[in-house]
Amino acid sequence: MELRSCTFDYGEDTRPILDAVDLTVEEGELVVLAGRTGVGKSTLLGLVNGLVPKFTGGRFRGDVLIDGASVMHLPPRERAHLVGYVGQDPAAGFVTDTVEEELAYGMEQLGYDPATMRRRVEETLDLLGIPELRARDLRTLSGGQQQRVAIGSVLTTHPRMLVLDEPTSALDPTAAEDVLATLTRLVHDLGVSVLLAEHRLERVVPFADRMAVLRGDGSLEVGDPREVLLDSPVAPPLVELGRALGWSPLPLSVREARRAARGLTERLTPPVVPETAAGKVSVRTRRLTVAYGDVVAVRDVDLELHAGSVTCLMGRNGSGKSTLLWTLQGSTRRTAGSVTVAGDDPATLSAAERRARFGLVPQTAADLLYLETVAEECATADRHAEASAGTCRALLERLVPGIDPEAHPRDLSEGQRLSLVLAIVLTSAPGVVALDEPTRGLDYPAKSVLATVLRELADDGRTVVVATHDVEFVAAVADRTVVLAEGQVVSAGPTAKVAVESPAFAPQTVKVLGPAWLTVDQVRTALDTARG
Ligand SMILES: Nc1ncnc2c1ncn2[C@@H]1O[C@H](COP(=O)(O)OP(=O)(O)OP(=O)(O)O)[C@@H](O)[C@H]1O
Ligand SMILES: Nc1ncnc2c1ncn2[C@@H]1O[C@H](COP(=O)(O)OP(=O)(O)OP(=O)(O)O)[C@@H](O)[C@H]1O
């Protein structure tokens, strides 16, 4: 695949997204595309799959070639057999009703014979670890289950090129590893080319042959990951650690970092994390069970959330995190057990009362946006929350700077749109704030701001609960972590304990420096102390 001198913007009075950008992805190569939130990653991927500029509008100059031939005249539908594409919102791309139908759909369009279709569907179900979901209605799948089906559905036709937009954003850490290992196998064994955009670089950099970073001025820097990451505006914790310690070359794997870090911790005073005094219990469940027909999503859960603290819910895809949040909020009906939020059973409250007590940012956050401009959304949020004018806008600016207030929310990038919803919900600052996978599309600076904002809310006496797969975010924000498996609580306690119990949930600094070190910030602080 080759982008030849591509220049693009969304219209006369918008900033150039791409300025004479060149990029090649060779046969059998995996290239990671990175950059700040809203910089233009999805736009670049859209040029390859044909959605840009055909369906987005905008002004384009340049050429896109696959196998040496220009594909600019081919609409997305006709590019699909050359380029398998999975977007940021996998469910948006579904065209059928069930998992098996979705996996077979691409092959049907290309006229495969039934026996081959059958075999490939089975292979793909196994490859992605979802055979038990084969007959399920796509709409009833959890976020991560949907993402796996979406990835599977483009693999079945064995396209030569895969274009994936944040393919691990809804996946649990183990599933993310598995999916990337599968992709790498296709790249190595079958010569498939992969271009993937991702914010969680710690997950993908170890698999990257090359990296491409959009710098925000329309330019694209392409090269060896180690070189590109030297001064990239976004970098995984290992690289931040290497930068803080002046390591050269920069470590890209935990193994390399461990070698570089020998003897380091003896010289540093480990961080002391103050036990946050647990406030009053504000949310309590007793033997809570939630079933959807035969599927028991939450089973016998006893949970207590404290005012003044941030709790993270972790656990495999489909382990019941979203269901638990919606049941605490009161919208999903429980099968058995009890829930109280600030003393009342949310099921007995009106929808408005529930929202006022328990703010929930859903996994598909865009559902909450309905006005014509960012400015109107912000103004309305201020009014509803009886907050002073400009509160929501200021919060948004802190999370992701520079969003045009006149932009239509539909035209925002994924991370920008999520930030807008976060700003709206956090403006109203209800007693309990629940966030379902709130780091999709967010770059490292935005995640760090979000962690600070949640901390401030907790310090202000609110209860914060976050369902997420982002172990680095958990390490930065959570006082307590609760791990679910098949709807049951299997582990709960201070994050410093829970996150280090299992390698799947351990942040990179823990793997390199040991259980005392949850974040690179802690290392920076200890370094400053040691240097006096
Ligand atoms: N249809 C559109 N019309 C106008 N502006 C748009 C449109 N689509 C995207 N934009 C703007 O173009 C910029 C790039 O968006 P894009 O979705 O490519 O970013 P991204 O790097 O993929 O972001 P994220 O990290 O949040 O996924 C953003 O500032 C966005 O607001
Ligand atoms: N409407 C429904 N009908 C049937 N099963 C459902 C329905 N909604 C969810 N489920 C199932 O319940 C289980 C728990 O789903 P839930 O969305 O709570 O998981 P999760 O931990 O949030 O997953 P993820 O990390 O992938 O977002 C999953 O197996 C899911 O497929």
Q: What's the pLDDT at 59?
A: 97
* pLDDT tens per residue across span 228-280: 999 999 999 999 999 999 999 999 999 999 999 999 989 899 888 776 667 89
The yes-or-no verdict on residue 527 having pLDDT over 80 is yes
The yes-or-no verdict on residue 474 having pLDDT over 70 is yes
Amino acid in position 89: D
Task: Answer yes or no: is the C-beta of 168 below 6 A from any ligand 2 atom.
Answer: no
* pLDDT tens per residue across span 340-386: 999 999 999 998 889 889 999 998 888 889 999 999 999 999 999 99
The yes-or-no verdict on residue 170 having pLDDT over 90 is yes
Q: State the closest ligand 2 atom to the C-alpha of 315, by its place in the atom list counted from 1.
A: 21
The yes-or-no verdict on residue 453 having pLDDT over 90 is yes
Q: Which ligand is nearest to the CA of 147?
A: 2
Query: Could you tell me the CA-to-CA distances from 169 to 144, 338, 375, 481 in Å, in that order?
Result: 8, 32, 28, 20
Ligand 2 mean position, distance from CA 212 (Å) = 35
Q: For a substitution probing ligand 1, which of 43, 220, 374, 442 has the most ligand atoms within 8 Å of its CB?
A: 43
Q: What's the pLDDT at 13?
A: 84
Which residue is closest in CA terms to ligand 1's atom 16?
40
Q: What's the pLDDT at 277?
A: 66
The yes-or-no verdict on residue 140 having pLDDT over 90 is yes
| Helix, strand, coil in percent for the chain, rounding step 5 | 40, 20, 35
Residue 285 and residue 339 in contact, taking contact as beta carbons nearer than 8 Å: yes
Q: For a substitution probing ligand 2, which of 137, 323, 361 has the most ligand atoms within 8 Å of its CB?
A: 323
Using N-to-C axis directions, what is the helix angle for 414-428 and 444-459, rounded to 10°? 10
Side by side, which strands form the sheet with 220-223? 83-86, 161-165, 193-197, 30-34, 210-214, 220-223
What residue has token string 């490292």?
A: 444
Which residues, 6 or more positions from 33, have their beta carbon under 8 angstroms from its beta carbon?
41, 44, 45, 195, 196, 197, 198, 211, 212, 213, 214
- Pair of tokens at residue 326: 């919606």
Q: For a substitution probing ligand 1, which of 6, 10, 36, 213 has the most ligand atoms within 8 Å of its CB?
A: 10
More confident call, 87 vs 531: 87
Ligand 2 mean position, distance from CA 318 (Å) = 5
Mean pLDDT across the stretch 47-75?
Answer: 95
- 175 three-class SS: helix
- pLDDT band at residue 33 under the 50/70/90 scheme: very high
Q: What's the pLDDT at 446?
A: 95
Q: Which ligand is nearest to the CA of 174?
A: 2
Q: What's the pLDDT at 18?
A: 98
Task: Answer yes or no: is the C-beta of 42 below 6 A from any ligand 1 atom.
Answer: yes
Q: What's the pLDDT at 161?
A: 95
Q: State the closest ligand 2 atom to the C-alpha of 147, by its place in the atom list counted from 1.
A: 26
- pLDDT band at residue 412 under the 50/70/90 scheme: very high
- pLDDT band at residue 338 under the 50/70/90 scheme: very high
d(CA 415, CA 188): 32
Ligand 1 mean position, distance from CA 175 (Å) = 27
- pLDDT band at residue 441 under the 50/70/90 scheme: very high
Residue 317 and residue 148 in contact, taking contact as beta carbons nearer than 8 Å: yes
- pLDDT band at residue 81 under the 50/70/90 scheme: confident
Instruction: Name the helix (H) or strand (E) containing 178.
Output: helix 173-190
Residue 434: phi, psi to the nearest 5? Answer: -120, 135
Q: What's the pLDDT at 114?
A: 96
- Quote the mean pLDDT of the chain: 94
- pLDDT band at residue 429 under the 50/70/90 scheme: confident
Task: Answer yes or no: is the C-beta of 141 below 6 A from any ligand 2 atom.
Answer: yes
Q: What's the pLDDT at 511?
A: 95
Which residue is closest in CA terms to ligand 1's atom 8?
411
Q: What's the pLDDT at 74?
A: 92
- pLDDT band at residue 326 under the 50/70/90 scheme: very high
Q: Which ligand is nearest to the CA of 36?
A: 1
Ligand 1 mean position, distance from CA 241 (Å) = 30
Mean pLDDT across the stretch 182-209?
Answer: 95
- pLDDT band at residue 405 under the 50/70/90 scheme: very high
Q: For a substitution probing ligand 1, which of 413, 414, 418 has the most ligand atoms within 8 Å of its CB?
A: 413
Which residues, 6 or more positions from 396, have their beta carbon under 8 angstroms from its beta carbon?
374, 378, 403, 419, 420, 423
Task: Answer yes or no: is the C-beta of 190 below 6 A from any ligand 2 atom.
Answer: no
- Pair of tokens at residue 82: 């050359």
Q: Which ligand is nearest to the CA of 416?
A: 1
Task: Answer yes or no: is the C-beta of 321 below 6 A from any ligand 2 atom.
Answer: yes
- pLDDT band at residue 503 under the 50/70/90 scheme: confident
Q: What's the pLDDT at 345?
A: 95
Of 338, 294, 301, the residue nearest 321 (C-alpha): 301
Q: E strands, 173-316, where?
A: 193-197, 210-214, 220-223, 281-292, 295-306, 310-314
Task: Answer yes or no: is the C-beta of 297 below 6 A from any ligand 2 atom.
Answer: yes
| Most confidently predicted of 74-83, 313-322, 502-511 | 313-322
- pLDDT band at residue 80 under the 50/70/90 scheme: confident
Task: Answer yes or no: is the C-beta of 415 below 6 A from any ligand 1 atom.
Answer: yes
Q: For a substitution probing ligand 2, which of 134, 289, 295 has the most ligand atoms within 8 Å of its CB?
A: 295
Q: What's the pLDDT at 221?
A: 98
Query: Could you tell me the CA-to-CA distances from 132 to 99, 145, 167, 224 in Å, in that order?
Result: 10, 11, 21, 40
Question: Looking at residue 399, what DSSP letter applies?
Answer: H
Global ipTM: 0.96
Amino acid in position 140: T
